[in-house]
Each structure stands twice: as structure tokens, then as C-alpha cells.
Amino acid sequence: MEIEFRVCPESVRQAKRIFVERGELPALPLATPILHSWKRCREHHVAAERLLPPEEGVVETLILEQARQSVEEWLRLARPVLEGVFGGFDTSRSVLIVADTQGLIVEAVGNSSFLERAQRVHLARGAIWHEGVRGTNAVGTAIAEGAPVEVLGPEHYLSCNEFLACTAAPIFDGTGRLVAVLDVSCDWHDHHPHTRALVDTAVRLIENHAIVARHRGLRIHLHRDAHALGSFVDDAIVCVDDDGRVVAANSAARRLFSLRHEELGAVPLERLFRRAAPVPRGDEPVLLYDPQGNPLYARFEGRRARVVIRRADPAPANDALAELDTGDEALRRVIAQARRVLDKDIPILLRGESGVGKELFAQALHRSSPRRDKPFVAVNCAALPEALIEAELFGYAPGAYTGARREGSLGRIREAHGGTLFLDEIGDMPLALQGRLLRVLETKEVVPLGGKPVRVEFALIAATHRDLPAEVEAGRFRADLYYRLAGLTLTLPPLRERSDLPVLVERILRACAPDRDLRLAPEVAAAFAAHSWPGNVRELAQALRVAAALVDEEEMVIGWEALPEGLAAALKQRTSMSPSLPQGQEETLELATLSRAAIERALVASRGNRTAAARRLGISRATLYRKLREMGSTPAQAAG
């Protein structure tokens, strides 16, 4: 494979020569760690023009054995990981290296023909690849930088190493202490562009396995994306002692929470989060918020500590957009785009099916913008009779027409002066009015009926569920107005495409019943996940509001009986058609037909505790009692 150089190898060689001779930094776009390393090498008078490798820095067997023992635990953890990660990778022309914290190679495995070539430059067991000895190289530079590094061909400081392409990443323990370095080296003609990703993955896995093996207390696995949580390799992991202090964290977690090495062992867990469930139940992911208010999904593993994380608002004040971020990637991208134009006077056009939350999004945009203290004025262009829209929008002078208020009316546009005007269902605005609105947007003046022009200034957000370009094509919407409105078009995803349904459900339930810890029964949650939600978040919010009102006072779990009738029927129909439900839910679905066997099984599994059995079945305790009565059965062991 032809190597992919950041710049042409010959230019790198020349630039290096000039740098070594005169200390002039090259104008080439070389990676920063390479430039840093060249500077260190020059300062330490490392001889670059060596055609033969330095003979110093090769240790005796005894020292090598000691070094090996110091990383033995890590080698043991690394072996299965390396087999797994590099198993399908063509390692026939490369060497896999593990070095200690001084760059001493303690393990080098690979194909014998390349090992021989590597041996000639001492890229082998017992040799030290510290920068001070061998100049810029992946192992030594990764140690110096404390970060993964790729060193390709002539980026190596010593001429004799220019035939190599090396990719290395430091391995840290859970306290952020460097413990070893993993490296893959080959002839640079054989370099594979995926090597870096493989080395990174292997190191993350080794670090994560080590943290799990070493810390037996409470571990919290975290991820921004609910679906990715549990992938293990990408999880941020924090370990907590019985006093609720964070004692270890993997690299991802240290980055996520900006945790410094010296803070581990001292930081209370609650400093990492703005809100959390005080006592996590079972293995379900829990929604937490980082200190910036961004959502994080968490799974609690290992021994449960008496950890209580204080409750706080999920998002900082003034960041209403962050509140809408419940973990869906598409929505998160839309929020990020919106943020970029918040204070830029660019009109925003929101698109999306009915009920996806366009108005809520527009309000959040306003509340996150510098105009948050000024009015937010919403006008539904579809709901107003055509004859009234004009007066409603543009206002009228006193006595402008019969039946009008004597004192006149400002009109919605002028009410929005200094703030935000939200034109909902703009696609339904009559053609005649579109011209007048366009004029206001162009001249920044409103002419009230029977009055004089008045200057106005506002941020504009329009929304529609219609395909406006198609409406323009069909002649129902003015092209010039469309281009005026669509400074930035943002499309909100329909609920069926969102990956954050469980979080949304939790949020809405918390808003409906802040004092209760309401949640969906597992089979209801599964049916929700399978439902297509034609009414989008509106339909979901409505269903949950009804459910929160109907569910028994002492009940925490929302079962079928608390759902609006039409929705429950639609969900059940859909679920019964569903070919594969997750294991463990058959029991609860059988209960939909209220089979005696399902109830009995749940009672046995709950050791006769009816409250637990009802929860298992996803019904209220009252319903379970009713069913038992109908079955004419009150099993003797039933209690609770």
C-alpha cells in the first residue's frame, strides 16, 4: 500500500535538513507533535544524520527482565486484546511492540522478515526508543507528548529510521499514570491508514479492562449516546469508593470531566454531574447531566456505594437549547447549527412534521439568544381567517375600519420589536399577504392599515410542515419570500427516527409529575419504541400526561391501563404483530391476554411478592389483585 503522507516525503526530508542545520521551522503542514519533537531533539543535540543506529540504549537481559516484570500485568491484559483487535489485520509485514514508560521495548512480535530489518535499527526487545536516544519516533514521542502519535518515514529524526512508519499510543492506568506504550511499526511503503484507529482501539480496551479488573467498587459507565452505551471500548468509566469519591477514571472520562491526575481520590462524584437518580435501579441506563448541562447516559456496575448525587437543573439558565438536547444525534446537529447563527441576524426556517416541536424549538432559540429578555411573538398563519391576518400582523391606526378597536392596534410584528417574531405554518399564508410580509422584511418597516410606516427590528423564525420548495414550484408560495425566510433551514427529525425516546419519556414524566418517580412498564416501553408516532412528540406528550394522571397514586409504573385507550390499542396491535421482542418481555405480553400462567410465573419469580410481580408484569397492584380475583386464585405464598 502506498503511504499517505501529510506532505511529500522529499519535502519533509529537506525541511528536516534545514531545520537541523539552521533551526528554521518548516512552512510545511507537519503534525504539531512532530514539530515539538524535532525541537526537543535539536535542543538536546540528537544527531540526525545517522545512517547507522546508535549503539547505546540497548540494555542487558537482567534489566530487560526487570522492565518486563514491571509491565507484566499490562502484557497479560494486552494479549487477548491485541489478538482480538489485530486478529484480522495483516501483520505479516509489521511488528507489534510494547514498551515500558522509558521507551524500553519489552515485547516485539511480528513477521520474521520485517523483524530482521527492524533488528538492524534496534527496533527490538531490549532497545530503548526514548527520544533522547533515537530522536523523533512513535514510542518516544508518544511518551513525551502523552498522546497517540504517528511518525511516518522522514518525519523520524534519525536518517537510519526513515524507512519506518510507526504508530504508538501511551497506555494509562485509571489514575492517569503512564504505564506502557503500544506501537505498530512497519516499512512505510506497507503502512496502513487504519493502523492508528486500531492502535487507539486496542489501547482503550486495555485501559478499560484494567480499570474493571482493578476496581471492584462502584463503576459508572457513561456515554453521550444511549445506543452506544455498553460498547465498552467507547465508554467513559469512573470508579467510585464507598465514600462517593472518584478514585479512578479512564482516558475518556478524564477528558469528559477535565479530571486531572492529582484530583483522583479527592473529587466527590456529585461534582461530575448536575443531576442523577440517587439510587439507580437495576441495570437500566440512567440519564445524568454533565456540569455544562449536556445529557449523559450512565450504567452502574459493580458494588453499589451509598452514593447520592444531588438534584439540580438539567441545563444552565439561558441555555434553553441545551434542554432540548436529549441525546439524539440528528437533533444535536440541528441544535449545534442553530447556535452558530443565534446572534447573527439570519432568518431561520424550521421544517418538520406536525408535532415534532417546532414552536418549542423556536422558543428555545429565542431564550438562548441575546434577545431573551425581549418579546417572543408567535403567529399561527394557518389559524387566522384570511381577512384578519393583515390586521393581526401589521396592526391598524385608530378608526382604520369599522369594528376595529378605537385606539388602534400595534399588530404582532410591532409587538415583536426588539425580540423574535415566530411565524408558524408560514406555508399556509395567503399569497396576497406574502408580498406584504416580504416588503416588511426588506424595508424593515410596517405600514399599519390606515397609518404611516413604522420602523421595526426583530429576529425572524418561520416554521412549516410543508415542502416549501415544492409549494414555490406549484406557484403557491413566493420564491422571493422563501429565499428571504430560509437564511438557515433546520429540519427537526420525526419522533420515530429519534434515538432518545426513553430520555424524552423521562423528561416529560418528570415535568408532569415532579414528585413521583414515574416510569414505563418494560412492555409499554418496548411498544413505545416500536410505535411510529404519527403525531410525534405532541402525541407522546399527550399520552404521558394522561398516563401520569391516571396511574394509581402509589404506583410508579405506567402499564397499559394508564394509557389513552386508542393509543393502547394501537400499541398492542403493533406489538402482537412484532415478530421479535426482547427476551423477558414475552411474559408481560402474555399478560396482555392475561394468561394465568404468566401471572403465576411472575409471582413465583417474585417469590410471592405481589408488588414486585405487578411491576414485573407492568400492571398496577390493583390490577393484579383484580386479575387474581377473576382467576379465583389467591396463591398461598402470595405476600406483599
Ligand X SMILES: Nc1ncnc2c1ncn2[C@@H]1O[C@H](COP(=O)(O)OP(=O)(O)OP(=O)(O)O)[C@@H](O)[C@H]1O
For 6, 39, 143, 147, 150, the CA distances from 32, given in Å and listed in that order, are: 12, 11, 15, 12, 11
358 binds ligand X (CB under 6 A): yes
- CB-wise, 542 or 609, nearer to ligand X? 542
For 109, 110, 325, 393, the CA distances from 383, given in Å and listed in that order, are: 73, 73, 29, 13
Q: Is the dihedral of CA 306, 312, 313, 315 positive or negative?
A: negative
- CB-wise, 164 or 381, nearer to ligand X? 381
Applying the rule CB under 6 A, the residues between 87 and 116 that interact with ligand X are: none
- Of the ranges 122-130, 293-301, 357-365, 559-567, which one interacts with ligand X (CB under 6 A)? 357-365
- CB-wise, 396 or 422, nearer to ligand X? 422
Interface residue with ligand X among 82, 169, 202, 356 (CB under 6 A) is: 356
Question: Least CB distance from residue 424 to ligand X, whole Å?
Answer: 6
Interface residue with ligand X among 190, 329, 359, 517 (CB under 6 A) is: 359
- CB-wise, 36 or 496, nearer to ligand X? 496
Please check whether residue 349 is in contact with residue 489, taking contact to mean a CB–CB distance below 8 angstroms: yes
- Of the ranges 73-81, 128-136, 349-357, 433-441, which one interacts with ligand X (CB under 6 A)? 349-357
Please check whether residue 36 is in contact with residue 100, taking contact to mean a CB–CB distance below 8 angstroms: no
Radius of gyration of the chain (CA): 32
- Of the ranges 127-135, 274-282, 351-359, 576-584, which one interacts with ligand X (CB under 6 A)? 351-359
- CB-wise, 247 or 350, nearer to ligand X? 350
The span from the CA of 118 to the CA of 162, in Å, is 12
Interface residue with ligand X among 170, 357, 427, 494 (CB under 6 A) is: 357
- CB-wise, 251 or 326, nearer to ligand X? 326
Helix (H, G, I), strand (E, B) or coil at 60: coil
- CB-wise, 213 or 383, nearer to ligand X? 383
What's the gap between Cα 266 and its chain centre?
A: 27
- CB-wise, 119 or 354, nearer to ligand X? 354
- Of the ranges 82-90, 111-119, 240-248, 355-363, which one interacts with ligand X (CB under 6 A)? 355-363
- Of 478, 467, 480, 528, nearest to 503 (Cα)? 528
Question: Least CB distance from residue 329 to ligand X, whole Å?
Answer: 15
- Of 614, 512, 613, nearest to 561 (Cα)? 614
Place of cell 388602534: 408
Interface residue with ligand X among 7, 59, 115, 360 (CB under 6 A) is: 360
**Edge-to-edge, what's the strand order for the sheet holding 246-249?**
246-249, 236-240, 218-223, 295-302, 286-289
Q: Which residues are CB-neighbours of 86 under 8 A, at least 6 positions away? A: 96, 184, 198, 202
- Of the ranges 60-68, 181-189, 348-356, 405-413, which one interacts with ligand X (CB under 6 A)? 348-356
Interface residue with ligand X among 14, 102, 354, 609 (CB under 6 A) is: 354
The span from the CA of 360 to the CA of 378, in Å, is 11
What is the contact mask toward ligand X in residues 307 to 326, using x (rule: CB under 6 A)? Answer: -----------------x--
Place of cell 526487570: 66
Name 186's bridge partners: 94, 165
What is the contact mask toward ligand X in residues 531 to 570, using x (rule: CB under 6 A)? Answer: ------xx--x-----------------------------
The neighbour count for residue 27, using CB atoms within 10 Å, is 8
Applying the rule CB under 6 A, the residues between 479 and 518 that interact with ligand X are: 507-508
The span from the CA of 29 to the CA of 361, in Å, is 41
Question: Least CB distance from residue 513 to ligand X, whole Å?
Answer: 14
The span from the CA of 54 to the CA of 135, in Å, is 10
Q: Which residue is nearest to ligand X (CB)?
A: 357
Applying the rule CB under 6 A, the residues between 446 and 475 that interact with ligand X are: 463, 465
Applying CB under 6 A, the site for ligand X has a residue count of 17
- CB-wise, 235 or 353, nearer to ligand X? 353
The neighbour count for residue 380, using CB atoms within 10 Å, is 16
- CB-wise, 203 or 501, nearer to ligand X? 501
Q: Which residues are CB-neighbours of 422 under 8 A, at least 6 positions away? A: 359, 362, 363, 366, 376, 377, 378, 379, 461, 462, 463
Question: Least CB distance from residue 511 to ligand X, whole Å?
Answer: 7
- CB-wise, 566 or 632, nearer to ligand X? 566
Question: Least CB distance from residue 379 to ligand X, whole Å?
Answer: 12
Question: Least CB distance from residue 350 to ligand X, whole Å?
Answer: 8
Question: Least CB distance from residue 427 to ligand X, whole Å?
Answer: 10
**Edge-to-edge, what's the strand order for the sheet holding 376-380?**
376-380, 420-424, 459-464, 348-351, 488-491
- Of 195, 207, 210, nearest to 234 (Cα)? 207
Applying the rule CB under 6 A, the residues between 383 and 422 that interact with ligand X are: none
Question: Least CB distance from residue 519 to ligand X, whole Å?
Answer: 16
Q: Give the three cell numbers for residue 580.
A: 421479535
- Of the ranges 245-253, 347-355, 445-453, 554-562, which one interacts with ligand X (CB under 6 A)? 347-355
- CB-wise, 482 or 533, nearer to ligand X? 533
Question: Least CB distance from residue 548 to ligand X, whole Å?
Answer: 13
- CB-wise, 13 or 496, nearer to ligand X? 496
The span from the CA of 457 to the CA of 315, in Å, is 30
- CB-wise, 39 or 466, nearer to ligand X? 466
Please check whether residue 142 is in contact with residue 97, taking contact to mean a CB–CB distance below 8 angstroms: no
Helix (H, G, I), strand (E, B) or coil at 58: strand
- CB-wise, 253 or 461, nearer to ligand X? 461
Name 287's bridge partners: 297
Question: Least CB distance from residue 327 to ligand X, whole Å?
Answer: 11
Interface residue with ligand X among 33, 174, 352, 502 (CB under 6 A) is: 352
Question: Least CB distance from residue 552 to ligand X, whole Å?
Answer: 24
Question: Least CB distance from residue 363 to ligand X, whole Å?
Answer: 8
For 359, 433, 465, the CA distances from 422, given in Å and listed in that order, are: 8, 16, 14
Instruction: List residues binding ligand X (CB under 6 A).
Output: 324, 352, 354-360, 424, 463, 465, 507-508, 537-538, 541
